[in-house]
Structure 1
């Protein structure tokens, strides 16, 4: 970063910054002024000497006529040039010091001229179309170092954005809109569609396999078998209990059930599996078409949405997001910064590779910037006019004279030459036609 002591100070109102090459321009202007003044003085001296010796040398009359007219032309053009910037010889002559006297009018006309001719919609849009804004953005984002810098900046703003959104009431609005949208969702058809997707390719048979495994574990559980034996003993006559028929029956039941489960587990085309398929398909159809199922599902949905835990879920979730963003922003290994940097680089790369997106993006820049210029151009015109009106008159005159005064001084040379030629022609004509 440059030292503030070496940085040029901003100009105050009414002050015009002078370019570094002003001294060279001023020196050149002074040289041309001196040459023009010397030429004018030389014409006057030549006129005086020629007039003095014209009697002895009649041909000096032509020289005197040339010098006289050249001196008159030089003086007239000197007056015209000086009258642009100041009052000649300090005299209050009307229509002199034209630029200082018309500073406000010049300022207003300059501002209006720039507004009409430089800030018109057509030229502005044409100039903006020459700039490939999308390519500039793509090149900028594709640089990892810049993308990381941008990610640091954005990551610092994320916690503030989250808090601002939460404080603005958008969180409550989002929660309300979410509930309204959930109210419109029909749960039963949705659940039917989800189950249909789940049962595609008989994936629901995996659930049936888990049921078989659970039943197998139940048949091998000692406590479960003891409970079953007690139930069987309670149903048997006393004589059967005396011969321990409950143990025999339980064993037969468990063995038969185990064999059945083994058959079902090993046979993917077992009738029980097909029966389970029909059961699931029938349940899905009833869930999709049955008014009773639909009413039950809607009641379950309303009860769920009415629970206070769900009402505060959005707030808790938003608070958690804010806490995470704040902690992550302070972390040296911020996940948000890392993913944002990768995202920006990828955006730059994809933007560089997609000409259609770049074209659309450039068109968007043109429309946005052209609209901005159109809405602000009157302000720009007023700003330019105010700045020119606030310039110091002496400094303004000095600045204009330095930049265009050298060319104006050549008018004095031209005036002397043209005047001298005109005087010479008039003198020659008077001799030829008037005999003077």
Structure 2
């Protein structure tokens, strides 16, 4: 069951009060002019026998009074019943408040909220420039960054509840699984081998081998291996020590030669090995399949899934800790980012034009979807206005002009009265 709408009082502004005072003055003048016409008519008729020319004055004044009274009736009938008498088709505005309200709402909907005028008006506004100016202000951007970081704990809590960690980890693993590792590895190795930079790796291997040859424990282990392989007679003559010394000396000599000669045969062999390996990675189906199996085995490891969850957990902990700090790095970076976005947006006319077009489309669509509601809202508001105050408000704004109709009615009526009197004299005197 709908409750009846309560009348809504209308507050008069200082400007409306000044218009009301001006209306009252005009009404008083118009009424005084009407009374003057009536008095003039009566006096002219009274003295007409003494001064015949007063017949013209009487004709003018009488007709002017009639015109003034008729126009007074017409003006008053718009707002109230003349003299309080409920004459049909008077008090037009109060009696048609609901119809006026509905028609006003439809008029605004059809004319002011039509798609064409709305879009045209929206195109006159540079929304993107407003956004750019707003963001370029450091204080405003700082406020926006504070607001954004205040929402982060809620966002992180929502992530926890929605199992976003598992979702992100699954998506990362899924996307990595789609990457062909063999060609990627080939490209990386090709970039690494440019200008023979892979020879640095070869030099590091030589250093490791040199340290091995100088390691007494390692040499002792090698000597034991040699001893185990030699016949017993050779062990008596300590051939194992002789062989080890020969191996170490030969290896050391070879390594010295390799380190001293950038174009040594071993280095060329290493170049050919690396180039061949890169070529096989790039073209060999067998190598590609082997690399893919290794990748899939790696992606199926439970440690990887746990590592993804721990990474997201660590990121969440860092964000929570940072935004609580008095000088938050995230807030500072967000502020700088917003300011920079504003400055770049102010400089890029094309991006602003695209943004403005988007604003026009979005806002025009919103207005189009809501305009019927606006029409209903306006109609309901007008229907809720107090009848007396509504009439008063309309009269305040247009009543003064209507009072001039009374003046015009008296002037036109008076001229018509003289004209009719002249015609009367011309027709009936002859």
TM-score range, shorter chain: over 0.9
Q: Which residue of 1 aligns with 2:375?
A: 381
The separation in 1 between residues aligned to 2:226 and 2:300, in whole angstroms, is 47
Q: Which residue of 2 aligns with 1:220?
A: 214
The separation in 2 between residues aligned to 1:200 and 1:361, in whole angstroms, is 46
Q: Does 1:78 align with 2:72?
A: yes
Shift in Å at residue 233 of structure 1?
2.8
The separation in 1 between residues aligned to 2:62 and 2:307, in whole angstroms, is 102
| Match of residue 177, structure 2, among 178, 183, 186 | 183
The separation in 2 between residues aligned to 1:174 and 1:249, in whole angstroms, is 60
RMSD over aligned CA atoms reads 2.1
Q: Does 1:413 align with 2:420?
A: no
Alpha-carbon spacing, 1:318–1:95, altered in 2? closer, same or farther (3 Å): farther
Q: Which residue of 2 aligns with 1:284?
A: 278
Q: Which residue of 1 aligns with 2:146?
A: 152
Runs of 5+ consecutive residues of structure 2 not aligned to the other structure: 1-5
Q: Which residue of 1 aligns with 2:3?
A: none
* Partner-residue secondary structure (3-state), 1:18: coil
Q: Which residue of 2 aligns with 1:210?
A: 204
The separation in 2 between residues aligned to 1:405 and 1:399, in whole angstroms, is 9
Shift in Å at residue 196 of structure 1?
2.3
Q: Is the 8 A contact 2:7 2:386 kept in 1?
A: no
Q: Which residue of 2 aligns with 1:20?
A: 14
Q: Does 1:256 align with 2:232?
A: no
Alignment deviations for residues 261-312 of structure 1 (CA, whole Å, 9 cap, x no partner): 1221222211111111111222223333333333332322222222223234
Q: Which moved more, 1:224-233 or 1:314-323?
A: 314-323
Shift in Å at residue 413 of structure 1?
0.9
Q: Which moved more, 1:197-206 or 1:423-432?
A: 197-206
Alpha-carbon spacing, 1:44–1:165, altered in 2? closer, same or farther (3 Å): farther
Shift in Å at residue 168 of structure 1?
4.3
Q: Which residue of 2 aligns with 1:161?
A: 155
Q: Does 1:273 align with 2:264?
A: no
Normalization by structure 2: what TM-score? Answer: 0.92
Q: Does 1:399 align with 2:393?
A: yes
Q: Which residue of 2 aligns with 1:295?
A: 289
The separation in 1 between residues aligned to 2:9 and 2:223, in whole angstroms, is 109
Alignment deviations for residues 179-218 of structure 1 (CA, whole Å, 9 cap, x no partner): 3333333333332232223223222212111111111111
* Partner-residue secondary structure (3-state), 2:14: coil
The separation in 1 between residues aligned to 2:212 and 2:248, in whole angstroms, is 10
Q: Is the 8 A contact 1:69 1:419 kept in 2?
A: yes
Q: Which moved more, 1:54-63 or 1:214-223?
A: 54-63
Q: Which residue of 2 aligns with 1:348?
A: 342
Q: Which residue of 2 aligns with 1:317?
A: 311
Shift in Å at residue 78 of structure 1?
0.8
* Partner-residue secondary structure (3-state), 1:233: helix
Q: Which residue of 2 aligns with 1:427?
A: 421
Q: Say how many residue pairs are matched.
A: 425
Q: Is the 8 A contact 2:59 2:417 kept in 1?
A: yes
Shift in Å at residue 170 of structure 1?
5.3
| Match of residue 108, structure 1, among 102, 109, 126 | 102
Q: Which residue of 1 aligns with 2:227?
A: 233
Q: Is the 8 A contact 1:13 1:387 kept in 2?
A: no
The separation in 1 between residues aligned to 2:418 and 2:380, in whole angstroms, is 50
The separation in 1 between residues aligned to 2:402 and 2:161, in whole angstroms, is 67
The separation in 1 between residues aligned to 2:162 and 2:371, in whole angstroms, is 34
Normalization by structure 1: what TM-score? Answer: 0.91
Alpha-carbon spacing, 1:13–1:365, altered in 2? closer, same or farther (3 Å): farther
